Chains A and B, each alone.
Chain A
Amino acid sequence: MSDSREGLPAQRRWMTVLQKVGTPLVSAALAVLVGSIIIWASGYDAGAAFAALFKGSLGGPKQIGDTILRAIPLIFTGLAVGYGFRAGLFNIGAEGQLFLGGLAAAWLGVVLAGLPWIIVVPIMIIASALAGAAWAFIPAILKARIGAHEVITTMMFTYIGRYLVSWLVIGPLKAPGQIPQTVAIPPEAQLPRIQELFSAGTLEALPFLQLGRAHLGIVVAVLMAVLVWVILKYTTLGYENRAVGFNPWASETAGISVQWTTVKALCISGALAGLAGSVEVMGVHHRLFDQFSSGFGFTGIAVALLAKNHPIGVIPAALLFGALSAGAGTMQFEADVPQKIILIIQALVIFFVAAEEIVLWFVRRRQKEAMSHAG
Chain B
Amino acid sequence: MKSKWSKVLAVLLALMLLVAFVPGCAQEDEGGETQEPAEETPTTDVKAAMVTDVGGLGDKSFNDLSYEGLKRAEEELGVEIEVLESKEITDYESNIDQLATAGFSPIFAVGFLMTDTVAKVAPMYPDTNFGGVDEFFDPVPANVVGLNFKEHEGSYLAGVVAGMATVSDFDEKLNGDNVIGFVGGMDVPLIKKFEAGYIAGAKAVNPDVKVISLYAGNFTDQAKGKELGLSLIEQGADVIYAAAGAVGLGTIQACQEQGALFIGVDADQYLTVPGSGDVMLTSMMKRVDNAVFETVKAAVEGTFPGGEIQYFGLAEGGVDLAPFHDFEDAVPQDIKDAVEEARADIISGAITVPEAP
Contact = CB atoms under 8 A, between A and B. Distances in A.
B218 interface: yes
A264 interface: no
A333 B102 contact: yes
A340 interface: yes
B95 A329 contact: yes
Say whether chain B's binding surface is mostly helix, strand, loop, or mixed.
Answer: helix
A41 B91 contact: no
A42 B27 contact: yes
A178 B85 CA distance: 24
Interface string B7-26: 00000000100111011001
Contact of A294 (B20, B87, B93, B102): B87
A324 B87 CA distance: 12
Contact of B98 (A34, A41, A43, A329): A329
B186 A328 contact: no
Contacts of A213: 93-94
Contacts of A341: 26
Given A178-B136, A332-B84, A291 B90 contact: no
B275 interface: no
Interface in A235-292: 284-285, 287, 289, 291-292
Interface in B16-47: 18-20, 22-23, 26-27, 29-30, 33
A207 interface: no
Given A66-B94, A294-B88, A325-B88, A41 B23 contact: yes
Contacts of A178: 112, 136, 188-190
Nearest to B56: A340
A29 interface: no
A295 to B, nearest CB: 8
B115 interface: yes
A226 interface: no
Interface residues of A, number: 42
B330 interface: no
Interface in B59-102: 82, 84-91, 93-95, 98-99, 102
Q: In the complex, which range does the number of interface residues on chain B fall in?
A: 35 or more
Contact of B218 (A170, A177, A329, A342): A170
Contacts, number: 91
Given A291-B89, A325-B90, A338 B217 contact: no
Contacts of B95: 329, 333
Q: Output the residue of A179, A326, A328 with the most chain B CB within 10 A.
A: A179
B142 interface: no
B19 A38 contact: yes
B54 interface: yes
A329 B19 contact: no
B298 interface: no
Interface in A328-375: 328-330, 332-333, 336-344
B144 to A, nearest CB: 16
Contacts of A192: none
B273 interface: no
B87 A37 contact: no
B84 A344 contact: no
A166 interface: yes
B19 A332 contact: no
A61 interface: no
A324 B84 CA distance: 16
B113 interface: yes
Given A41-B23, A178-B190, A292 B30 contact: no
Contacts of A170: 186, 217-218
A86 interface: no
Given A179-B112, A294-B54, A41 B19 contact: yes
B98 A179 contact: no
A177 B88 CA distance: 24
A180 interface: yes
Nearest to B218: A170
Contact of B84 (A37, A289, A333): A333
A234 to B, nearest CB: 35
A70 B90 contact: yes
Contact of B54 (A34, A291, A342): A291
A94 interface: no
A69 interface: yes
A287 B113 CA distance: 12
Contacts of B33: 336
Contacts of A337: 26
Nearest to A342: B87
A290 B89 CA distance: 11
Nearest to A284: B90
B167 to A, nearest CB: 35
Contacts of B18: 38
A356 B346 CA distance: 69
A38 B33 CA distance: 21
A179 B188 CA distance: 9
B89 A166 contact: no
A42 B23 contact: yes
Contacts of A66: 94
Nearest to B33: A336
17 contacts: A38-B22, A66-B94, A70-B90, A171-B217, A178-B112, A179-B113, A285-B89, A294-B89, A325-B88, A329-B84, A329-B91, A329-B98, A333-B102, A337-B26, A338-B30, A339-B87, A343-B87
Given A178-B189, A294-B54, 14 more contacts: A43-B27, A70-B90, A171-B217, A213-B93, A213-B94, A294-B88, A328-B87, A329-B84, A329-B94, A333-B99, A337-B26, A338-B26, A338-B30, A340-B85
4 closest cross-chain pairs (CB), A and B: A294-B88, A42-B26, A42-B23, A338-B29
